[in-house]
Amino acid sequence: MSTIAYRTQQVDDVEVFYREAGPADAPVLLLLHGFPTSSHMFRDLIPALADRYRVIAPDLPGFGRTRAPSRARYVYSFDQLARTMGGFVDALGLERYALYVFDYGAPVGFRLALAHPERITAIITQNGNAYEEGFSTGWEPWQAYWREPTPANREACRASLTDEAIRFQHTHGMPEDRVAPDAAELDIAYLRRGEAEEIQLDLILSYRTNVELYPAFQAYFREHQPPLLAAWGRRDAFFLPPGALAYARDLPHAEIHLLDAGHFALATHHEEIAQLIRRFLTRHLLGTRRS
Annotated catalytic residue within 33, 170, 263, 270 = 263
How many CB atoms lie under 10 A from the CB of residue 148? 10
**270 is known as an active-site residue:** no
φ and ψ of 232, to 5 deg? -120, 130
| Residue type present at position 234 | R
Indicate which residues carry an active-site annotation.
Answer: 263
